[in-house]
Amino acid sequence: MNKQVYTRVAALLLSIPILVFSCQSPSEEREPKRGLIAEKAMVVSARGEASRIGIEIMKKGGNAFDAMMATEMALAVTFPFAGNLGGGGFAVYRLANGEIGSIDYREKAPGAAHRDMYLDENGDVIPGLSTKGALASGVPGTIAGIFEAQSKFGKLEPKEILQPVIDLAKNGFVVSTQQAGRLQSIREVVREVNGENTFYGKEWNAGDTIKNIALAETLERIASNGRDEFYQGETAKILVDHMQKMGGIITEEDLAAYEAAWREPIVFDYKELRVISMAPPSSGGVTIGQILKMVEPYDLQAMGHNSVDYVQVLTEAMRRAYADRNYYLGDPDFVEIPIDELLDDDYLKERMGSFNPEMATLSADIAEGKVLFAESMETTHYSIMDEEGNALAVTTTLNGAYGSKVYLDELGFFMNNEMDDFSSKTGVPNMFGLIGADANSIAPGKRMLSSMTPTLVERDGKLWMILGTPGGSTIITAVAQTILNAYEFDMTMQEAVEAHRFHHQWLPDQILFEENTLDSALLKALSAKNYLINEGRTPIIGSVDAIMLLPDGKLEGGADPRRENEAAGY
Ligand code: DON
């Protein structure tokens, strides 16, 4: 601790001339800003109701896995932007006894999907086909995932867990300000896709109460009949019928064949930290591992948080890691991935060998596609810690905002547009500007590559942090920076979550800064070294929900103010 305070002071002194950007790192003069502090258990998620339902389940005697089922479904009710039954996700866990693992409930390509399904007769990508409408959806994994995890590790009955969620759907939730804006912005397209009378095509304003009776009924059937209700029951039939009428290709066989998969997490060391994150088909664990290990040899504290030197070294690591990500990673059930090689110390050292502190390494000169950073996009992450000491980091998504925009009015939920996470054509960017290769081409039953990075961090052998975020391709770099903020710059959980972030993903070759965080001195210094900076509209980069275990055994929540995230605990 003393060493840390000392190095922090030294770093601040050394970095005064180049501290030109952000600096939400704690200064010596002011009190550190803390998030919610709880004694025993905590949930941090995108909606207060979802965090509180998770807590309610744990107070009833449930553990983190029971709370996961409740929180995930409460997000499906109150946060239809990303919370879902029609999507998928990943969860990384660490049990109280230190055992670790993860579950992959990522969507799969339907059996009738094929490599060129989004290309026209000239071999060009048909705009919109993988992002909007029934053809954009993969086979959903969420219900399989939460039941698989809960049945293995949970303590309560699903019926008991789901009851408060069903009540919430019936009694309604209040539309928040941000939510009203989002609903407003997609209303037309939702009506275009689903017809004028569709539920979310109505005019919903801030303060209105939304009661989703169709979703309450779906959840009631799932509570009574279990996960097979979704994959083989009445719900499955309604889903398939609806999707096929809209030109989709998901069949009853696809649903019946869906299984969540237990995966070995990616584990690596960063100095005295042990990071546990998601393995392929998420690129999260491998890519965050590459980034952190590439910057490990540099004295980041001395550079100063978000200084020119810091932005530069992290950018170069991000650039190199995303180049590997896009080439090598895909569904491990379909492609061979050289994970050990990609995380090998010597390999990563060599990879950074071309880093020149005087000049940017420009990404390969590949013609850049149109990058839709401006596309409203949403995923959601929640972090859970129970009083027994079990920890869960869970990220779940429909991909884009409200997924494919296909809303199943009879069932009360949106379907994903996760097929866009495949590489529709080598070299053509998807909606996050990510360029894919063969490893991530479409094949029946294959899972599309993800950037979701639910992550746990141990410090000195003990659990220290639970974190993750939405943000498409920016997820990985947002999680990496949050860990570095807390570890290298000694920020509290809340400060680490709030600090300004930046992002680079190899292609397009540009550094993305959040709005109002790029000042002219930083721009000048980076431009002089040939860095390309996105000076246009800069969206927020992620919306991190995290928990830190403090030295006194208490828990600190980090709920990102970029969105309406909320921590609850006891
Ligand atoms: O799995 C992925 O990487 C994307 N489908 C995540 C989408 C996302 O984070 C959108 N949110 N902001």
Q: Find tokens 């996470």 and name the residue.
A: 421
Pocket test for ligand 1, best of 186, 452, 540 (most atoms within 8 A of CB): 452
Q: Which tens digit of pLDDT belongs to each residue from 464-498?
A: 999 999 999 999 999 999 999 999 999 999 999 99
Query: Residue 67 pairs with which residues in a beta bridge?
Result: none
Q: Which tens digit of pLDDT belongs to each residue from 501-540?
A: 999 999 889 999 998 888 889 999 999 999 999 876 667 8
How many Cβ atoms sit within 10 Å of the Cβ of residue 266? 26
Ligand 1 atom closest to residue 451's alpha carbon, by position in its atom list? 3
Q: Whose CA is nearest to atom 5 of ligand 1?
A: 399
For the cut 90, the answer to whether the pLDDT of residue 23 exceeds it is no
CA of 299 to the centre of ligand 1 (A): 31
Residue 435's pLDDT band (boundaries 50, 70, 90)?
confident
How many CA atoms are closer than 13 Å to the CA of 173, on its beta-carbon side? Answer: 26
Q: How far apart are CA 9 and CA 491, in angstroms?
A: 13
Cβ atoms of 485 and 303 closer than 8 Å: no
pLDDT, residue 26, reads: 46
Residue 440's identity, in one-letter code, is: N
Q: Which tens digit of pLDDT belongs to each residue from 365-379?
A: 333 222 344 344 579
How many CA atoms are closer than 13 Å to the CA of 107, on its beta-carbon side? Answer: 31
Q: How far apart are CA 73 and CA 57, in angstroms?
A: 13
Residue 135's identity, in one-letter code, is: L
Cβ atoms of 48 and 568 closer than 8 Å: yes
Q: Which tens digit of pLDDT belongs to each residue from 247-258?
A: 999 999 999 999
450 lines ligand 1 (CB under 6 A): yes
- Of 366 and 123, the structure prediction assigns the larger pLDDT to 123
Of 71, 131, 218, 379, the catalytic one is 379
For the cut 50, the answer to whether the pLDDT of residue 8 exceeds it is no
Cβ atoms of 518 and 22 closer than 8 Å: no
- Is residue 426 among the annotated active site residues? no
Between vectors from CA 345 to CA 340 and to CA 346, what angle results, nearest 5°?
A: 105
Omega into 281 within 30° of 0, i.e. cis?
A: yes
Q: Whose CA is nearest to atom 11 of ligand 1?
A: 378
Cβ atoms of 88 and 380 closer than 8 Å: no
pLDDT, residue 368, reads: 29
399 lines ligand 1 (CB under 6 A): yes
Report how far apart the first and last C-alpha atoms of the chain are (Å, whole number).
27
Query: Residue 282 pairs with which residues in a beta bridge?
Result: 450
Q: How far apart are CA 340 and CA 544, in angstroms?
A: 28
Q: What is the DSSP string of 286-344?
A: HHHHHHHHHHTTS-HHHH-TT-HHHHHHHHHHHHHHHHHHHHH-S-TTTS---HHHHT-
For the cut 90, the answer to whether the pLDDT of residue 395 exceeds it is yes
307 lines ligand 1 (CB under 6 A): no
452 lines ligand 1 (CB under 6 A): yes
Q: Taking residues 151-156, report their average pLDDT.
A: 98
The secondary structure element, H or E, covering residue 77 is helix 64-78
Q: Taking residues 45-59, report their average pLDDT.
A: 98
Pocket test for ligand 1, best of 399, 419, 421, 450 (most atoms within 8 A of CB): 399
Report the candidate in 103, 122, 138 with the shortest Cα–Cα distance to residue 442: 138
pLDDT, residue 433, reads: 84
Residues 6+ apart with CB under 8 A from 298: 313
379 lines ligand 1 (CB under 6 A): yes
Query: Residue 475 pairs with which residues in a beta bridge?
Result: none
Query: Residue 59 pairs with which residues in a beta bridge?
Result: none
395 lines ligand 1 (CB under 6 A): no
Q: Whose CA is nearest to atom 2 of ligand 1?
A: 450
CA of 30 to the centre of ligand 1 (A): 36
Cβ atoms of 286 and 279 closer than 8 Å: yes
107 lines ligand 1 (CB under 6 A): no
Q: How far apart are CA 209 and CA 524, in angstroms?
A: 49
- HEC secondary structure over 345-379: HHHHHHHHHHCECCECCCCCCCCCCCCCCCCCEEE
